[in-house]
Amino acid sequence: MPLHNFNSGPSILPQEVLTQAAAAIHNFNNTGLSILEIGHRTTHFVEVVTEAQQIVKRLMGLDDAYEVLFLQGGATMQFMQVPMNLLDENGLAAICDNGVWGNKAVKEASLFGPVKVVSDTADKKHTYLNKQLTIPENATYLHITTNNTVEGTQWHQYPQTHALLIGDMSSDIFSRPTAFNQFDVIYAGAQKNMGAAGVTLVVIKKEILGKINRQIPAILNYQKHIEAGSLLNTPPVFSIYVSLLTLRWIEAQGGLAAMEKQNLAKSNLLYNTIDALPAFYCPIAKEDRSIMNAVFFLTDPTLEAPFLALCKSEGMIGVKGYRTVGGIRVSMYNAMPYSSVEAFCDLMKSFAEKN
């Protein structure tokens, strides 16, 4: 039985990326050594980092005002590393709390300076985005989660602000052409749309650094990582290599415009199917629906368990909603083929007919 991998993260990767990564474990670039055995300061690996940085900038259309880093600690570490590097008692972090991840960004930032939650959508269980934000005059930065992985909302136009703009793009990075240059910091754990777990992409506009008075440990200091060319200490060599393979794959497919076309085709098919079947409903405001993670429910909650059991028996992996949200979550990252979403929609239709 073919499996359809709808996991929310770590998640599906392109088949050819897996094949190339597997080959490099045995013999990396004809060196006779495994990618797991080479030194991170060898020319071979420095070329991997450099090419990955170049592709990131090309895909984002960013110039040399920005630096591309590959760090550890996950997107979760960025919840504290961003304020540690940018926020002090004289500043203010304005943060949108639109779900699980934005909420963590709030908690961590408050360890480093004043925080104002400028949008809290808990009143409607985060099923919409509040786009009318009032950003305080003295805000240092505005932090948004561009795609709320758990709740299924996505910013389709970013807020305008006089403050710096920080984006947690963990679950929609490289899913569409977007105004990357509106941001001063972009970060994303690799394991959803650009590779394997273990590395976090951080893109920073260099001029924003060095403005606060705080001693920052070197390993957490963006400036030190920039000066070291993302090789301050041993980086996650293999994870960075898998990211490079995925980035090459994105470019070979036609770049972000091609990704968006596919992602819209998949998400339109799924949302149209949900909206057409009375057995299912999606509570997310239509204009804010995510093209990456669709969150929806069975109209009759007693049918949720049988539907999930059917999914399991039909090889549909990872479609159970997040533990605090419940329902169904279907993640449709870049590497997910249209045919998998089609198979899932067919299953929904036949379930709806029989129940």
Ligand X SMILES: *Cc1c(COP(=O)(O)O)cnc(C)c1O
Q: Which residues contact ligand X (rule: CB under 6 A)? A: 9, 74-76, 101, 145, 149, 168, 170-171, 189, 192
- Peptide bond just before 283 cis, omega within 30 deg: no
For CA atoms 32, 34, 38, 44, the dihedral sign is: positive
Question: Between residues 115 and 298, which has the closer beta carbon with respect to ligand X?
Answer: 115
Q: Which tokens is 10 given?
A: 């770590």
Question: Between residues 21 and 75, which has the closer beta carbon with respect to ligand X?
Answer: 75
Question: Between residues 29 and 76, which has the closer beta carbon with respect to ligand X?
Answer: 76
- How far is CA 213 from each of CA 67, 223, 336, rounded to the nearest angstrom? 22, 14, 45
Question: Between residues 101 and 249, which has the closer beta carbon with respect to ligand X?
Answer: 101
Least Å distance between CB 339 and ligand X? 25
Residue with the shortest CB distance to ligand X: 74
Tell me if residue 249 is catalytic. Answer: no
From 141, 227, 233, 218, select the one nearest 187 (Cα to Cα). Answer: 141
From 120, 74, 130, 78, select the one nearest 99 (Cα to Cα). Answer: 120
- How far is CA 294 from each of CA 92, 184, 312, 349, rounded to the nearest angstrom? 33, 28, 18, 17
> What is the rounded distance in angstroms from the CA atom of residue 303 to the CA atom of residue 306?
5
From 333, 40, 4, 15, select the one nearest 188 (Cα to Cα). Answer: 333
Least Å distance between CB 68 and ligand X? 17
From 222, 192, 221, select the one nearest 67 (Cα to Cα). Answer: 222
Tell me if residue 288 is catalytic. Answer: no
Question: Between residues 75 and 194, which has the closer beta carbon with respect to ligand X?
Answer: 75
Catalytic residue among 97, 155, 168, 266: 168
Asked whether the beta carbons of 82 and 109 are under 8 A apart, the reply is yes
Least Å distance between CB 178 and ligand X? 15
Least Å distance between CB 277 and ligand X? 27
Least Å distance between CB 170 and ligand X? 4
Element (H, E) at 102: helix 100-109
Catalytic residue among 101, 155, 172, 249: 101
Catalytic residue among 192, 249, 266, 288: 192
Q: Which tokens is 306 given?
A: 């049988």
Least Å distance between CB 75 and ligand X? 3
Question: Between residues 85 and 148, which has the closer beta carbon with respect to ligand X?
Answer: 148
From 42, 142, 53, select the one nearest 92 (Cα to Cα). Answer: 142
Asked whether the beta carbons of 283 and 299 are under 8 A apart, the reply is no
Asked whether the beta carbons of 100 and 322 are under 8 A apart, the reply is yes
Tell me if residue 286 is catalytic. Answer: no
Catalytic residue numbers read 101, 168, 192
